[in-house]
Structure 1
């Protein structure tokens, strides 16, 4: 077989409206990021200060971006092929180094975090470049552009890992800014210009399923953290009530995302003439607040379980209100992208949470948790009935 034929065997040519299932290798890879999400939520819980929140946010955005880029690459390459599987297993090792470095990323393990991150980003993109056959010149040039951007950001990641204190935060923020702007700039590089949206042809159904499964993993992490905390506590009326509120809140988040939104997104991107553009906006960017909201809510659930009585302190209020608000903000924007209109139920939920924030300091953590869960239930029921009525009216 020629070199071109070998590379072509790895690179997937997507047929229109084709749907490729998510592979077991991809699911296996994603398990590392369950651990990463747990590390992020625990780090936020342990460093809930303005600086700690800023640092944890940067780490979350880095973890999200390395996962997102891997998802794009496994959409372009065939994960059932042995070389691509080996790539995923190597990336899993890098992901474990990143995950275990998160709690001390701004202390003693900054260089480990930076080296693992930069190696994963640049390494897999070079692999994509080499695996893309010359018969796909646009896709190959796209891989070269991505490699150039990630190589530039890698310099700042490593420099930040070698630096200390605020210099590390600044250098890593620059590195992250380069990577997040790269897709929006369509990976423009001097002389060769920017990629075309047509160069980002993806299999939409696979992409939607991939992100949906990540949401399930994030929700599953929330269940695991809540269950582990609850198992160590004395079971009183307050702790049992807090546990029940947390569980219902997680189920409602699943309902809001998956009841109609995920299915509609999968259908739209599968039929879209520009799936790359939709994947970049609706999934790569707009899923950030959705996942962040789930993580912050998990922090709130743990705080409430540990101290359900008394008055709510600022970090309990911020996490209990901020988590659901981030989640609703992400889902309303995501659903606007796929439906073309803003969900009134989600907007009402955001307003209700904002009003609740004014009174939250005087409420017990348990009562605050129950109130935020009730608002989320209201959003889910309202949306379900409105969509049902809309479907009946169009029938």
Structure 2
């Protein structure tokens, strides 16, 4: 675990870069680029998590491999702000080196092990997408975004298709018997990384404020409470109960693929977007609300709640209604902001989002008083 925690430090930097990128380009093009880059960052981290789930991270070969992956990840993170500009090749090259290099090492090391088949198929997908990543960086312009989106589509389709390749066959989730508790713990740590970025943004925004007005301090307090409520929704019993379920479910590979590999994406993305909204609220608490600010302040929490509802559904088999109600309230607040932007400044929208998250956390606490067979009452 210590080497994995050391590896995670690179992604603390990457999350910071992504939130700053979105803040600087809060328009349709900026949002699309940030989404694409976030998916790439998550995929690089998640495949490393699958690797350490199967292989001992303290083995000298894997430790060296993770060290190389850290270096590539650091270059990738450093290139994020200009990934659709002069440092496109830096980003693409680092990403390809990380994905292909790590998978190649494990494919060779595990060639005699049954899981080696899966890693060889994964390697084929990464090599195929690598051509698209490098070509997109070389061409630039609109073609870059298209080719990179196709590259991600290739990679993200792999687990759903069982990495089917002509002449190489395919695998199924039953071939991916994993340590479910380890997978759950690693994803919980990434959520903590994202929440840490949220708190960092909150603190830096207050520290850099030119004059500490009452409104700015109020926005700071609201942002902090929003982060606490987000933590509470994710970690209060749900995370622990999900970890126990993941450790004992029959098809651990299927649960690892759906609940953790895919469904954690909207939760992490929602936290990043919410952090951008917090920074805007602290900097401009009573300014006229803009579409971008409203999207960050309300869309981030809504995205997180939607992801968490899917997570509960995937792990426990039921849909938490309070999260759906919360999303509805956030959507209504967004509609009001669109119709009458002068009535709902950023501080008010931030307060609404925090109240919604707090209400979801509170109703979870009330529900937990009822008996539950799976550790989480429907």
TM-score, normalised by the number of residues in structure 2? 0.96
**Partner residue in 1 for 2:137:** 161
**Partner residue in 1 for 2:86:** 108
1:334 paired with 2:311, answer yes
Distance of 1:201 and 1:128 partners within structure 2: 17
1:177 paired with 2:156, answer no
Q: Deviations over 1:53-101 (max 9, x none)?
A: 1111100000000000010001111011122111111111111101110
1:253 paired with 2:230, answer yes
**Partner residue in 2 for 1:15:** none
1:33 paired with 2:11, answer yes
Contact 2:305 2:323 in 1 (8 A): yes
Moved more, 207-216 or 189-198: 189-198
**Partner residue in 2 for 1:5:** none
Deviation, 1:339, is 1.4
Distance of 2:353 and 2:237 partners within structure 1: 22
Distance of 1:64 and 1:196 partners within structure 2: 22
SS of the counterpart of 2:354?
helix
1:200 paired with 2:181, answer no
**Partner residue in 2 for 1:306:** 283
SS of the counterpart of 1:317?
helix
1:43 to 21, 35, 40: 21
Q: Deviations over 1:102-154 (max 9, x none)?
A: 000000000010000011101111111111151x2x31111111110110000
Distance of 2:367 and 2:246 partners within structure 1: 23
1:129 to 107, 128, 144: 107
Q: Deviations over 1:303-330 (max 9, x none)?
A: 1111001321111111111000000000
Deviation, 1:199, is 1.8
Deviation, 1:337, is 1.1
**Partner residue in 2 for 1:4:** none
Contact 1:343 1:383 in 2 (8 A): no
1:367 paired with 2:343, answer no
CA root-mean-square deviation: 1.4
1:55 paired with 2:55, answer no
1:219 paired with 2:195, answer yes
Moved more, 357-366 or 343-352: 357-366
Unaligned runs of 5+ in 2: none
Deviation, 1:389, is 2.3
SS of the counterpart of 2:169?
coil
Runs of 4+ in 1 over 4 A off after TM superposition: 391-394
Q: Deviations over 1:340-384 (max 9, x none)?
A: 110011111111111111212330111111111011111110111
SS of the counterpart of 2:369?
helix
**Partner residue in 2 for 1:283:** 260
Distance of 2:230 and 2:360 partners within structure 1: 10
**Partner residue in 1 for 2:367:** 386
Moved more, 185-194 or 171-180: 185-194
TM-score, normalised by the number of residues in structure 1? 0.92
**Partner residue in 2 for 1:80:** 58
Distance of 1:373 and 1:283 partners within structure 2: 25
Contact 1:160 1:167 in 2 (8 A): yes
Distance of 1:133 and 1:264 partners within structure 2: 35
Contact 2:111 2:117 in 1 (8 A): no
SS of the counterpart of 2:165?
coil
Q: Deviations over 1:225-276 (max 9, x none)?
A: 1111111112221011000000000010000000021111101110012111
**Partner residue in 2 for 1:209:** 185
Distance of 1:353 and 1:149 partners within structure 2: 39
